[in-house]
Structure 1
Amino acid sequence: NIHRHIERGTRPFDAAILGAREILYPIIAMTTTLAAVYAPIAFVSGLTGVLFREFALTLAGAVIVSGVIAVTLSPMMCSKLLKAENEHDKPGWLTRHLDRLFEGLKRRYQRRLNRTLNYRPVTLLVLAGVIAATGLMYMTTQKELAPEEDQGILFTFVKTPQYANLDYLEEATQQIYRVFSTVPEKDHVFAINGMGDVHQGFAGVLLKPWDERTRNHKAVLQELQPKIAGIAPALALVFSPPALPGSTGGPPVQFVITTTRDFRQLADVLADVEKSARESGMFIFSDSDLRFETPQIEFKIDHDKANRLGISMADIGNSLATLLGGNYVNLFDLYGRSYQVIPQVPREFRLNEDWLTRYQIRTSSGMLVPLSNVATVTKVVQPNALTNFQQLNSATLSAVPFPGRTVGEAIDFLKKKAAESFPEGFTYDFQGESRQFVQEGDTLVYTFVFALVIIFLVLAAQYESFRDPLIILIALPTSMFGALIPLNAGLATVNIYTQIGLVTLIGLISKHGILMVDFANKLQEEQGYGRREAIEHAAAIRLRPILMTTAAMVVAMVPLLIAKGAGAASRFDIGVVIAAGMTIGTMFTLFVTPAVYTFLARDHQKAMARARAETPAVAPVSFRGEVLAETLEEADAEAKAGLLFPAEPEPEPQREHPDDHLSPEARGFSSAASASSSGAHGPERRAAKRQSRRRRFPPAAE
């Protein structure tokens, strides 16, 4: 803005003062707007608040400091560093090329804007269509809590049948180890058998550093999952660790069904949900923690026979505990070292339940008889686990969505299924990453709305109008539309990082409207322009700073878009939202904001005319017997006729005044200030006031 005044011939010092005065209020508006955008984020609770509180406060503080520098240090540096063009100091070829480029853009933009304003209803129709498309795109875009990050490690959960033993589990994990060893990107493989019980194991593969491999973790996971799923002895699931802290771990989707009914009814409902999940084609893997498949052996004793043989219940219990329990009973010394005595029958004599009745026990007479004389063995099936969630009987469905599917889609599917098929008395909840998504997923949506309300109120207070903030923010849906295009195309999802980018766009895109609306209002008030003429002129003058700030912001997002390594996914999501939203939103703003301004903005000329019409006429006041003119036109006529000012002798040559080095605009300010502060009386004071009323400065001087 200062450079524009210098190009018009104003001295750099005067141009710095005039340019700073001209954009003082827009800078204040933009600074408060950006600070108000980030302030609500600092008060968000939960995981989102923990992650972004420092981010929000840092940016708000930086914006405030930047605003102070913009009205103090920047004008001073412009007055010292910028120079007017002359024969001895001509700009370089790059400067001349850029000036021609921007001038050409300005002329073409003015022509297009003029034609667009001839069809304002069409512009409003396009705006309404964009708003509707924005809402539709937001609802259809994939949602998740956070993008999946490449953390350089993949985990595997292994589950064997309930009748399996430790050897069975070791065979399964050995096969998984061999599959992991075939991955070119692997750096280390580990396996842990017996995580929780002998039916579960845990394995993982640590990948090489990012600069030593060409594939990311998703490509490796997509290759491993079919191979791991083909391992017959066990059910194995490969997954990456959660992208955000605070999760309990495990698969990304954990759907908990709760009820006060018994576990058999709960198992039936869970089986129906699991069947629907598998048929949906949305999940690459699903499993539940409640199955009636655990074999249980019931050892029934005939008390009458046992009593007749003199065998007590304690005798039978102690004998079985000694034969099968593997308990420590004593110590023995061998070569100076103590060893535990753990009695147990050899493994081949305890492989199945038939051996229970073949063991012998001593009767009261001292004879040994097999337990089959007093007991029988039967097999029944029991649930593998009886779990509780919030003091209710519960069962959990764990699943992993297919690549390209998100946790949000999976949760929506399970919620819909629950609403359709759950009997009365059954409810649902979530655990792990799914619970985080449900609790934190919509937090920033409310923050977005709250920030929008705060910005509207801040602008309304500054402009003392509800119209101007509405005009400034009317183009915000267009930037949301631009930001959602790459998200809807699958480049990213709606998550907490993209939502932060959408909140940031409120402050960034509103800067364009502030620049245009503030300047157009000044042109109406000071130059007497109409609404259309004022906004056309203001938009053309402010085109260059709007394009420059947009280009600067988009270029600043390039490092985020091309980032690699840890945290690259979250940085890419923020960058793509801001870059796309600013680019497309700016193109819409340049045409939508002027069209809406011509409809909603206040017509200052009509307002001034109404104010003059409502002001009562003032009777002429005489001074020294002379009648003062009632209007400015009469005063001008009387001044020409010599009625107001007596003839004066020719002025004597005056010494050079200290203000002679100032430009005409600055001298005008100085003379007006001197006239108002002097103690002159009579015609001289009225002449100074009348002359200041007649003088019409350009907007910069005003």
Structure 2
Amino acid sequence: AAVYLPFAFSTGRSGMLFIEFALTLAGAVLVSGFTALTLSPMMCSKLLRHSNKHGRLFEFGERILQGLDQGYRTLLDRVLGLRWLTIGVAAAVVAAMLGLFLSLPDELAPAEDQGIIIGFGTAPEGATIDYTDRYAKQMENIYEAVPEQNRFFKIVGFSGVTNVIGFIGLKPWNERERSAQQIAQSLFPAFSDIAGLRAFPVTPPPLGQTRFGQPVSFVVQSTGTWEDLDETVSKLLAKMAENSQLTNPDSDLKLNKPELRIDINREKVAVVGASIDTVGRTLETMLGGRNVTRFKKGTEQYDVIVQIDDDSRRTPGDLSNIFVRGNNDTMIQLQNLATVTETVAAKELNHFNKLRAATVSAGLAPGYSQGEALEWMENALREVAPDALYDLSGQSREFRESASGAMTLMVLALIFIYLVLSAQFESFIDPLIILVAVPLAMFGAFLCLVMLNKGNDLGWWTVTGSWNIYTQIGAVTLVGLISKHGILIVEFANQLREQGMAKRDAVLQSASLRLRPILMTTGAMVLGAVPLAFATGAGAEARHQIGWVIAGGMSFGTVFTLFVVPVVYLFLSGQHRGPATD
């Protein structure tokens, strides 16, 4: 239970998942321990009966187990005679474990098939709602052609008249062969063919995140001007175009929004008897509209809005048709009082941590992880603008914070379990012997994840593995489970030495006698993890990660524990009470 304690204090969205997991398992372990110490002995006294004669199945199984016991004892006896070779093999396994870990993709959580695909579209700046809707209907046609869909809809004008968002609902998992990610990937060419929109499909982010957008959200900051920031962002986008693993790179800093700059000649305005306030209110009323009164007809009430007709305010030349009231109620044409200049401006100017900032976003090609993408982005920014500042936002920020927090919690978990074992064994050496099994078990876990990726690359299966929040949960569980094997061996070996047995004989007998409970624990956990490893349907991607980490880690870790822990015990174990000496 001690291994889960640090995770009860984790924070953030991923912390919420860790807290529930940690408290649930810690509570289950405590209740199980209480039951094992109280109810189980009572049940044994009532239910178990000694018998001199057993059935054929029992005798067959017993012969197999006895042969396994004898074979393991003989092999372990030889291994104990090759201590340095065993230590060298264990060191090589630990080095391989580190290599496998570094080769794993790094992400917040695996992409999950949530049965929904989201389509985004952006029209050119200055486009009208009718223009956006006309091309958004092509997105509807694409949605309708997807054989796995059973519903869809779109919203035109989502967060601005130039934006459109659409949702495709997919059939249940058992009624389709392709996943949501595969369907979204197949829609990219069709979305790219929409001439009037910059459109792309995405799948919702995992872990119930509510943010729309891309998994890569890279914030470039500057203390200079907006033009300097735009130049840096343009160079970064050009560099991103060279990386085919980043899809739909974009930036929220766009200095291309059409703008009309009206410079009023104050002297002319004064000569005709008008005022700057009158000119401003006239433009506001004619172009933006003004609610001047309400009109009642029967039981209905209507707002009266003064505004030029839409067709009369579409082009910059239409400003010449606006008149301003002057002296003696004379009407003066606006173009005689002001100069109109067509220019462009930023659509929006954002700040991040009190600095001018632009967010560069991108999607990820299949097989390309968030960790790899962010590392590439950092190197690319250093290449195009070595002095530029950057930060992360959205999904990328949550991923980076979760990754750093998880490693800290893993270290704390190892420290906690070490301290608890030190108190239990009244030794600082015995816990080290027990925890030797942890990196060996991690080798098995990481090997399974790497093999999943290799098989996916070869097209043998669709399951992949990565270092994410779910594999971290599996790894924490693995630490507690694999430590039990070492505890069984070390504790019983210490007891035998206190009875006067030599160190080598004690650890040999201890490991041999504890073989069956170790195998029973391993078999129960591996068989319990198999349904997770081969799960299907909703949430299967998350369960795969936990299942394969536990199954692979327990399988390989048990094999290494049975041989490496006894050897390390011979090297590190100190003196114990007893008449015999080594």
TM-score, structure 2 as length reference: 0.91
Q: 2:394 aligns with which of 395, 409, 432?
A: 432
Q: Secondary structure at the match of 1:299?
A: strand
Task: Report the counterpart of residue 43 of structure 1 in structure 2.
Answer: 9
Task: Report the counterpart of residue 162 of structure 2 in structure 1.
Answer: 199
Give the AA of the match of 1:555: L
Task: Report the counterpart of residue 423 of structure 2 in structure 1.
Answer: 461
Q: 1:92 aligns with which of 55, 67, 87?
A: 55
Q: 1:62 aligns with which of 7, 28, 33?
A: 28
How far is 1:217 from its partner? 1.4
- 1:588-599 matches, within 5 Å, as 588-599=560-571
CA change 1:471–1:302 in 2 (3 A) is: closer
Mapped partners of 1:205, 1:234: distance in 2:
18
CA change 1:321–1:49 in 2 (3 A) is: closer
- 1:266-665 matches, within 5 Å, as 266-307=229-270, 312-314=275-277, 316-332=279-295, 337-359=300-322, 364=327, 370-422=333-385, 424=387, 426-489=388-451, 490=453, 491-526=464-499, 528-602=500-574, 604=576, 608=579
Judge conservation of contact 1:516–1:539 (CA < 8 Å) in 2.
Answer: yes
CA change 1:79–1:322 in 2 (3 A) is: closer
Q: Secondary structure at the match of 1:441?
A: helix
Mapped partners of 2:44, 2:294: distance in 1:
92
Give the AA of the match of 1:182: A
Mapped partners of 1:419, 1:256: distance in 2:
13
Mapped partners of 2:312, 2:35: distance in 1:
87
Q: 1:117 aligns with which of 73, 77, 80?
A: 80
Mapped partners of 1:305, 1:155: distance in 2:
54
How far is 1:143 from its partner? 1.1
Give the AA of the match of 2:19: R
How far is 1:94 from its partner? 2.4
Mapped partners of 1:601, 1:163: distance in 2:
77
Q: 1:52 aligns with which of 1, 6, 18?
A: 18
Q: Secondary structure at the match of 1:105?
A: helix
Task: Report the counterpart of residue 70 of structure 2 in structure 1.
Answer: 107
Q: Secondary structure at the match of 1:77?
A: helix
Judge conservation of contact 1:259–1:393 (CA < 8 Å) in 2.
Answer: yes
Give the AA of the match of 2:529: M
CA change 1:73–1:299 in 2 (3 A) is: closer
Q: Secondary structure at the match of 1:328?
A: strand
Mapped partners of 1:59, 1:538: distance in 2:
29
Judge conservation of contact 1:266–1:395 (CA < 8 Å) in 2.
Answer: yes
Mapped partners of 2:416, 2:280: distance in 1:
75
Mapped partners of 2:523, 2:354: distance in 1:
57
Q: Secondary structure at the match of 2:291?
A: coil
Spell out, residue by residue over 1:173-201, the C-alpha distance to the aligned partner (whole angstroms, 9 max, x if none): 21111111111221221111112221222
Mapped partners of 2:20, 2:394: distance in 1:
25
Q: Secondary structure at the match of 2:108?
A: coil
Mapped partners of 2:126, 2:565: distance in 1:
71
Judge conservation of contact 2:143–2:152 (CA < 8 Å) in 1.
Answer: yes
Mapped partners of 1:203, 1:141: distance in 2:
34
Task: Report the counterpart of residue 82 of structure 1 in structure 2.
Answer: 48
Q: Which has the larger radius of gyration?
A: 1
TM-score, structure 1 as length reference: 0.76
Give the AA of the match of 1:257: V
Judge conservation of contact 1:249–1:433 (CA < 8 Å) in 2.
Answer: no
| Most deviating of 318-327 and 98-107 | 318-327
How far is 1:209 from its partner? 2.7
Mapped partners of 1:179, 1:476: distance in 2:
51
Q: Secondary structure at the match of 2:543?
A: helix
CA change 1:170–1:512 in 2 (3 A) is: same
| Most deviating of 435-444 and 551-560 | 435-444
Mapped partners of 2:492, 2:263: distance in 1:
95
Mapped partners of 1:289, 1:603: distance in 2:
68
CA change 1:205–1:119 in 2 (3 A) is: same
Spell out, residue by residue over 1:89-133, the C-alpha distance to the aligned partner (whole angstroms, 9 max, x if none): x32332222112212222222232222223221111111111112
Spell out, residue by residue over 1:350-390, the C-alpha distance to the aligned partner (whole angstroms, 9 max, x if none): 32112222445566477766444444322112122111223
Judge conservation of contact 2:320–2:333 (CA < 8 Å) in 1.
Answer: yes
Mapped partners of 1:462, 1:396: distance in 2:
53
How far is 1:402 from its partner? 1.0
Task: Report the counterpart of residue 15 of structure 1 in structure 2.
Answer: none
Judge conservation of contact 1:530–1:603 (CA < 8 Å) in 2.
Answer: no
Gaps of 5+ in 1: 1-34, 612-702
Q: Secondary structure at the match of 1:292?
A: coil
Judge conservation of contact 2:502–2:580 (CA < 8 Å) in 1.
Answer: no
CA change 1:540–1:267 in 2 (3 A) is: same
| Most deviating of 201-210 and 475-484 | 201-210
CA change 1:474–1:338 in 2 (3 A) is: closer
Give the AA of the match of 1:525: E
Mapped partners of 1:506, 1:245: distance in 2:
28
How far is 1:396 from its partner? 0.6
CA change 1:610–1:383 in 2 (3 A) is: same
Mapped partners of 1:596, 1:440: distance in 2:
35
| Most deviating of 446-455 and 301-310 | 301-310
Q: Secondary structure at the match of 1:279?
A: coil
How far is 1:319 from its partner? 4.3
How far is 1:484 from its partner? 0.8
Give the AA of the match of 1:498: T
Q: Secondary structure at the match of 2:290?
A: coil
Judge conservation of contact 1:297–1:378 (CA < 8 Å) in 2.
Answer: yes
Mapped partners of 1:46, 1:298: distance in 2:
46
Q: 2:178 aligns with which of 203, 215, 218?
A: 215
Give the AA of the match of 2:438: L
Judge conservation of contact 2:502–2:581 (CA < 8 Å) in 1.
Answer: no
Mapped partners of 2:25, 2:272: distance in 1:
87
Give the AA of the match of 1:523: L
CA change 1:501–1:318 in 2 (3 A) is: closer
Task: Report the counterpart of residue 130 of structure 2 in structure 1.
Answer: 167
Judge conservation of contact 1:247–1:432 (CA < 8 Å) in 2.
Answer: no
Mapped partners of 1:167, 1:288: distance in 2:
25
CA change 1:514–1:361 in 2 (3 A) is: closer
Judge conservation of contact 1:249–1:432 (CA < 8 Å) in 2.
Answer: no
Judge conservation of contact 2:501–2:580 (CA < 8 Å) in 1.
Answer: no
CA change 1:370–1:546 in 2 (3 A) is: same
How far is 1:156 from its partner? 2.2
Gaps of 5+ in 2: 454-463
Mapped partners of 2:405, 2:265: distance in 1:
64
Task: Report the counterpart of residue 24 of structure 1 in structure 2.
Answer: none
Identity %: 43
CA change 1:354–1:549 in 2 (3 A) is: same
Mapped partners of 2:210, 2:399: distance in 1:
10
| Most deviating of 164-173 and 358-367 | 358-367
Spell out, residue by residue over 1:428-471, the C-alpha distance to the aligned partner (whole angstroms, 9 max, x if none): 22221111112222222222211212222222222222222222
